[in-house]
Amino acid sequence: MTDLKDHSTQFDPAFVLIRLPDVERITGLASATIYRRIKDDPFFPKPVSLGDTGSRGSPVGFVLAEVQEWVRLRVSLR
């Protein structure tokens, strides 16, 4: 049996979900801009539903690696 402590610092960003306030901090965008980009920007990371229903207002998360990659893309385009 493995000890959970051994893996606590080895999170894979491809499997870590972050919430909207984290996306705002990482990207520097306001929440309204993030929602606009989700709708209009095919390269912006799409949210992952965290609830059992797909209804409006259900909690969502974003894949950390995808958010980081979007930021890298923006930096490379400057």
pLDDT tens digits, residue range 27-46? Answer: 999 999 999 999 999 999 99
User: What ranges make up the beta strands (E) of the chain?
Assistant: 17-18, 48-49, 60-63
Q: What is the CATH number of domain 14-76?
A: 1.10.1660
pTM, two decimal places: 0.81
Cα(61)–Cα(47) distance, integer angstroms = 6
Q: In this predicted model, which residue has the larger pLDDT, 8 or 61? A: 61
- By the 8 A CB rule, do 35 and 10 touch? no
Cα(27)–Cα(72) distance, integer angstroms = 10
Beta partners for 48?
61
Q: In this predicted model, which residue has the larger pLDDT, 47 or 2? A: 47
